[in-house]
Amino acid sequence: MTVTMSLAERLRAFVDIVGEANALTAPDDIRPYLTENRGLYHGASPLVLKPGSTAEVSAILKLASETGTAIVPVSGRTGLVGGQVPREDSQDVLLSLERMNKIREVDPVADVIVADGGAILADVQKAAEAHGRLFPLSLGSEGSCRIGGNLATNAGGTAVLAYGNMRQLCLGLEVVLPSGEIWDGLRRLKKDNSGYDLRDLFIGAEGTLGVITGAVLKMVPRPRGRQVAYVGLASPEAALKLFEKASQRCGTALTGFELMPRIGIEFTTKHIPGVRDPLASAHPWYALVDISTSDSEETAGAMMQELLADAFEAGLIADAAIASSIAQQDAFWHLRESMSDAQKPEGGSIKHDVSVPVSRIPAFLAEADAAVHALMPDARICAFGHLGDGNIHYNISQPVGADKAAFIARWREVNAVVHAVVHKHTGSISAEHGVGQLKRDELAASRPAIETDLMRRIKQAFDPAGIMNPGKVIG
């Protein structure tokens, strides 16, 4: 039953749950919560709530369900698809987990860590490190993104090749449902076949089915040996052959394999302070190879040396630099992780977060490049990403001297030609960033009808009033 209240009465009731000190009502205070990093989406909201406990989240959602008030969960506000942005001209209430940021428990024997949904990823990594363990999710935004958002988008990052994405790193969840009911699924079991796996429904749902307030996360033993190499190559085909050799030779010790184009290196060395190209001469393409071993630095170093020697002999690589210190390893990775930000000073950028089967990456890149240049001959394509898991950030910078607004206005047109190539290669238009608002309509149009119908049935079952993050993922 819907409770009838005026807007002022509703807002007052919400504020009373968390207390005045934990509610934002002034427009200037709310404004930072109303947009996303790229400025593609701008929303409106009269209120930001900052609950301090699962019980307060429950009370908020119970009241929202009773009053028909839309709730937009907010995590670290680092998303790139508008999933955390309220609707324009709306009265959506924002629910931020930033106060729920505790590490609840670390269990090094079971290799699990229990954290609040608002815990910052970097803090989770540090808590694991303090116990000689590794929480392997690694993202460029790890200093500000939060575990609830990482789970809600099924975040990937640079270590998926070895450790999997967030779905593989989570054993259990605590979730507040739209009704205000609390599901305590904080199980620590690696084997549990007792019925439907409800956990997997909430991971990747982007806050449309409930609010993740806690999680049991997997840790792994911290590697004792590590080596990183930065390699110059002639083509994506050569990079793929190098990856195949690395996989065969290193097995599970291969923890990262990134692909980068020359233009990305030029953007990054030009615009990111302190970044330099580790190789003396330019190459059309580059790979970043990361090897981690359980025993020693010597083993990792020998494995890398043998891999590169084999690749040189096979004519796959033209040059390579092996990091001589931890600082240099970090510098190599900083170059790769800064590539997206380095595009900003070059003007408008139309971005794609896509995945295709690893073996099809060279063909995808060649066909997508041809399609984009047929549409926009002077476009500057900066395609880079996680070759080892098939995820490519296919970004396109505006032509030199072009009008930024006019270029960005062609976003959907460019998306269409790139995503057509993705579909041809049986790929996905959303690899790790989520769907949000940006890809909602295309998701519905590109998936089989039965698939989108099942998604809508799930949404209706969990959220019959439609209050959870409306307008996101599935229309």
DSSP 308-322: HHHHHHTT--SEEEE
CB atoms within 10 A of CB 327: 8
What single-letter DSSP state applies at residue 251?
Answer: G
132 class by beta-carbon count within 10 Å (0-12 exposed, 13-18 middle, 19+ buried): exposed
Rounded Cα gap, residues 399 and 379, in angstroms: 5
pLDDT on residue 1: 59
Under 8 Å CB-to-CB from 376, ≥6 apart: which residues?
Answer: 396, 399, 410, 414
SS3 156: coil
Averages of pLDDT over runs of 10 residues in the chain (475 residues) are 82 97 96 86 94 98 96 90 87 96 97 98 97 93 93 90 94 98 95 92 96 98 95 98 96 96 98 96 98 93 96 97 96 95 95 95 98 97 96 96 95 94 94 83 86 94 96 87
Q: In what order do the strands lie in the sheet with 103-107?
A: 103-107, 112-116, 211-218, 170-176, 182-185
Residues 6+ apart with CB under 8 A from 105: 113, 114
Torsion angle, alpha carbons of 228, 220, 76, 340, to 10: 20
**274 contact partners, CB below 8 Å, separation of at least 6:** none
Distance CA 159, CA 218 (A): 14
For the chain, the first-to-last Cα distance in angstroms comes to 24
Token pair in block for residue 402: 């072009």
CA distance 305 to 250: 12
Buried b / exposed e over 181-208, threshold 16 CB at 10 Å, is ebeebbeeeeeeeeeeeebebbbbbbbb
- Could you tell me the two tokens for 189? 């079991």
Beta carbons of 260 and 384 less than 8 angstroms apart: yes
434 exposure class (CB count in 10 Å sphere: 0-12, 13-18, 19+): buried
Burial class (CB in 10 A: 0-12, 13-18, 19+), 313: exposed
So what's the pLDDT on residue 431?
A: 82
Q: Tell me if residue 362 falls in helix, strand or coil.
A: helix
Tokens of 60: 């908020």
Sign of CA dihedral 388, 394, 397, 399: positive
The encoded tokens of residue 8 equal 């002022």
Distance in angstroms (rounded) separating the CA atoms of residues 475 and 468: 12
188: left (phi over 0), alpha (psi -120 to 50) or beta: alpha
Full DSSP string of 113-135 = EEEETT-BHHHHHHHHHTTTEE-
Is the separation of the CB atoms in 112 and 217 below 8 Å?
A: yes
CB 441 within 8 A of CB 57: no
- What DSSP assignment string belongs to 442-454? HHHHHS-HHHHHH
- Three-state secondary-structure class, residue 419: helix
- What pLDDT does residue 36 have? 85
Residue 204 to residue 407: CA distance in whole angstroms: 31
Contact 346, 380 (CB under 8 A): yes
163-to-89, 166, 167, 287 alpha-carbon distances in Å? 42, 9, 10, 19
CB 307 within 8 A of CB 300: no
State the burial class of residue 270 (Cβ atoms within 10 Å of its Cβ: 0-12, 13-18, 19+): exposed
The SS3 assignment for 213 reads strand
